[in-house]
Chains A and B, each alone.
Chain A
Amino acid sequence: MLVRQTRDVLALLVQTVYWVFVGPFRGKPVSRKGLFVQTVFAGVDSLVIVFFVNFFIGIVLAMQSAYQLEQLGATIYVAALVAVSVTREIGPVLTSLVIAGRVGAAITAEISTMKVTEQIEALETLSLNPVRYLVVPRFLALLMVLPCLVMMGDIIGMFGGYIVGVYNLGLGSGLYMDTTIEFLTVKDITTGLFKSAVFSMIISMIACYQGLSTEGGAEGVGRSTTQSVVTSFILIIIADAVLTAVFYFAKT
């Protein structure tokens, strides 16, 4: 069961990549309208929830670490801790989980409803490949949008830490920012963004696969949507562990 599903998801990924690169040369590029609609839905419409989550996580991180660091008399390192943990881990992972819940679930619900109401079959009889027509726009939209959201989420998260640092812990505004910049490296940010790109592929592939393999009416739609979110969550966490090990613990 698991082996077959893994193989099917990978097959879907191969087909998607094929249509992304080969489609335009066969005169069948991605529909711009579809891509636009999906980008707006996955990106613009997600801004508020992503900002909200990252902002408060930044605040909470700052408060929690301030409590510990105060005892060592090192309150200023709150800035470093917030910046590094948000850009490396919390930002990408939390944003991706939010998007898996918001966008991944919506993708699965939509595609699986199309499946159970014969719309996927209708696409095929109209000679429209469902992978090209439905999966590719969602895949590309998420791949573009998620790193952008993570980037913005990083900034908002650090801003949350800054609010606590300056207005609660009484650190100087300039000092807080200098410390942040001093401890933050480019690698922190780039690995975070790379991770988010991988997570975006997990979300779109799992969501589309679950949608396309749905069977059995309304109940099937519900089951697939749950499956999609749960599987995405698990795979995101596993991928995060693997990528962190590769980036920070692998011997070069």
Chain B
Amino acid sequence: MSDKKEIVISVKNLTKRFGSRTILSEVSLDIYEGETLVVMGGSGCGKSTFLRHLIGALRPDEGEVWMFGKNIAKADEMEMDEIRKQFGMLFQSGALFDSMTVGENIALPLREHTKLDENIIRIVIKLKLDLVGLRGFENLMPSQLSGGMKKRCGLARAIVMDPKIVFYDEPTAGLDPVMTGVIDKLTMDLTKKLNITSVVVTHDMGSVFRIANRIVMLHEGRVLEIGTPDEIRHSKNPIVQQFITGGAEGPISFVQSGEDYLEHLTEEIEI
């Protein structure tokens, strides 16, 4: 189904090293218009680093990231500014500016980048707050909000410029199951109603299968598997299976074997 759609982001052979550690190694994938792509993987697999390349916060050591027909790995600051206006990003903590009210937070991109009338800006703030279910919250300070509300405000700010793509960094981490459901539903609604392309980084298995059209599993900086939720669920790859079922035993090792463990415990002891 997705191969008929237009490609909005195309990542080619993305490689990133921090010092001698290779975080991402030759990651290649295409993201299609209007889909919800979930990037999942264990802690430290490079999924956050991958996301930071997509938003232009990091530059790759090798490879290309094409978005809206531009290679953002090579874009200069001014080109990057134009590209950034076309996508929104929901940060893990919401990243609201705590010196401003909720309304000012949401209005900031409009006030800075457009010449819209102040009355129209007020209406847009209300519209976006309604969309995330926070009617009447515009005059509160971020410190007065709960974690879930902060995330929803962050989402309202991310979509205020009517972006074509929204990136989500662990949108449900640290939320209760109901709030997780709310955020998931918002993600799906936005994708459906506004035809926004969503890229979600998460390791919350519940929401992965609720919201995803396609899933990418990263492991040790490489793409382990790409597919629809069904394909992933029935994947034969033991690492994928262990990850989605959450088993402690398996190819992703946590418990060390007996001999190694003894060695590790006694390695700094001099007898």
Contact = CB atoms under 8 A, between A and B. Distances in A.
Contact of A124 (B57, B92, B97): B57
B93 A118 contact: yes
A122 B89 contact: yes
B47 to A, nearest CB: 16
Contact of B91 (A118, A127, A128, A129): A118
A119 interface: yes
Interface string A117-151: 11101111111110000000000000000000000
A222 B81 CA distance: 32
Contacts, number: 48
B112 A121 contact: no
Contact of A126 (B57, B80, B98, B108): B108
Contact of B112 (A114, A117, A126): A126
B240 interface: no
Interface residues of B, number: 24
Nearest to B112: A128
A171 B6 CA distance: 89
B248 interface: no
B16 to A, nearest CB: 17
A117 B95 contact: yes
B95 A127 contact: no
Contacts of B109: 126-128
Contacts of A124: 57, 84
Contact of A127 (B85, B93, B98, B157): B85
Interface string B85-114: 101110111011111000000001100110
B84 A126 contact: yes
B73 interface: no
Count class of interface residues, chain A:
10 to 19
B174 to A, nearest CB: 14
Interface core residue of B89, B92, B95, B113 (most chain A CB under 10 Å): B95
A124 B97 CA distance: 13
Given A127-B81, A127-B85, A128-B108, A122 B95 contact: yes
Contacts of B108: 126, 128
A118 B97 contact: no
A125 B93 contact: no
B55 interface: yes
Interface core residue of A119, A126, A128 (most chain B CB under 10 Å): A126
Contacts of A129: 77, 81
Interface string B64-89: 00000000000001001110110111
Contacts of A128: 108-109, 112
Contact of B57 (A114, A117, A121): A121
A122 B81 contact: no
Nearest to B84: A127
Contacts of A118: 91-93, 95
A54 B45 CA distance: 57
Contacts of A121: 57, 91, 95
Nearest to B160: A126
A118 B142 CA distance: 14
Contacts of A114: 97
A160 B82 CA distance: 57
Contacts of B87: 125
A30 to B, nearest CB: 12
A161 B35 CA distance: 75
B108 to A, nearest CB: 7
Nearest to B86: A127
Contacts of B57: 121, 124-125
Nearest to B99: A110
B97 A122 contact: yes
A125 B97 contact: no
Contacts of B91: 118, 121-122
Contacts of A123: 97
A125 B96 CA distance: 12
B113 A119 contact: no
B81 A119 contact: no
A183 B171 CA distance: 69
A127 B88 CA distance: 10
Nearest to B161: A126
Interface of A: 110, 114, 117-119, 121-129
Interface of B: 55, 57, 77, 80-82, 84-85, 87-89, 91-93, 95-99, 108-109, 112-113, 157
Given A121-B95, A128-B109, 12 more contacts: A117-B93, A119-B98, A122-B96, A124-B57, A125-B57, A125-B84, A126-B109, A126-B112, A126-B157, A127-B113, A128-B112, A129-B81
26 contacts: A110-B99, A114-B97, A117-B98, A118-B92, A118-B93, A118-B95, A119-B97, A119-B98, A121-B57, A121-B91, A122-B89, A122-B91, A122-B96, A122-B97, A124-B57, A125-B84, A125-B87, A125-B89, A126-B109, A126-B157, A127-B80, A127-B82, A127-B84, A127-B113, A128-B108, A129-B81
